Chain A
Amino acid sequence: MADEPGLDGLNRLRHDLRTPLTVVVGFAEILASDRELSDVERRDYAQRVLNAGLEIRELIDAARL
Chain B
Amino acid sequence: MLLRLVLIEDHQALREGLELLLGREGCDVVGTAGTAAEGRQLVERLAPDVALVDIRLGDDDGIDLTRRLLGEDPDRRIVLYTGSSDEELLFSGLDSGARGYALKDGSPRELVEALALVANGGSYVDPRLRPALLSRRSTERLPSLSNREREILDLLAQGLTGEQVAERLFLSAETVKTHIRNAMSKLEAHTRVHAIAIALREGYISPPDGAGLARG
Which residues of chain A have a CB within 8 Å of any CB of chain B?
7, 11-12, 14-23, 25-27, 29-30, 48, 51-52, 55
Is the pair B13, A55 in contact by a Cβ cutoff of 8 Å? Answer: yes
A7→B13 CA distance, assembly (Å): 26
* Chain A residue at smallest Cβ distance from B13: A23
B164 adjacent to chain A (CB < 8 Å): no
Is the pair B13, A14 in contact by a Cβ cutoff of 8 Å? Answer: no
Residues 19-44 of chain B, each 1 if its beta carbon lies under 8 Å from chain A, else 0: 00100100000000000000000000
Q: Which residues of B are found within 8 Å of A14, using beta-carbon distances? A: 83-86
Majority-rule SS of A interface residues: helix
Q: Which residues of A are found within 8 Å of B83, using beta-carbon distances? A: 14-19, 21-22
Q: Which residues of A are found within 8 Å of B13, using beta-carbon distances? A: 20, 23, 48, 51-52, 55
Q: Which residues of B are found within 8 Å of A25, using beta-carbon distances? A: 107
* Chain A residue at smallest Cβ distance from B10: A19
In the complex, what's the smallest C-beta–C-beta distance from A38 to chain B, in angstroms? 14
The tally of residues in B whose CB lies under 8 Å from a CB in A reads: 20
Number of A-B contacts (CB under 8 A): 59
Q: Which residues of A are found within 8 Å of B17, using beta-carbon distances? A: 22-23, 26-27, 48, 52
A-B contact pairs, 6 of them (CB 8 A): A18-B104, A22-B104, A22-B105, A26-B108, A29-B107, A55-B13
B142 adjacent to chain A (CB < 8 Å): no
A12→B108 CA distance, assembly (Å): 22
Is the pair B107, A20 in contact by a Cβ cutoff of 8 Å? Answer: no
In the complex, what's the smallest C-beta–C-beta distance from A53 to chain B, in angstroms? 11
In the complex, what's the smallest C-beta–C-beta distance from A65 to chain B, in angstroms? 15
Majority-rule SS of B interface residues: mixed
A15→B57 CA distance, assembly (Å): 11
Is the pair A12, B85 in contact by a Cβ cutoff of 8 Å? Answer: no
B55 adjacent to chain A (CB < 8 Å): yes
B82 adjacent to chain A (CB < 8 Å): yes
A59→B89 CA distance, assembly (Å): 22
Q: Which residues of A are found within 8 Å of B21, using beta-carbon distances? A: 26-27, 30
Residues 75-105 of chain B, each 1 if its beta carbon lies under 8 Å from chain A, else 0: 0000000111110010000000000000111
Residues 90-126 of chain B, each 1 if its beta carbon lies under 8 Å from chain A, else 0: 0000000000000111011000000000000000000
In the complex, what's the smallest C-beta–C-beta distance from B101 to chain A, in angstroms? 13
B179 adjacent to chain A (CB < 8 Å): no
Q: Which residues of A are found within 8 Å of B11, using beta-carbon distances? A: 19-20
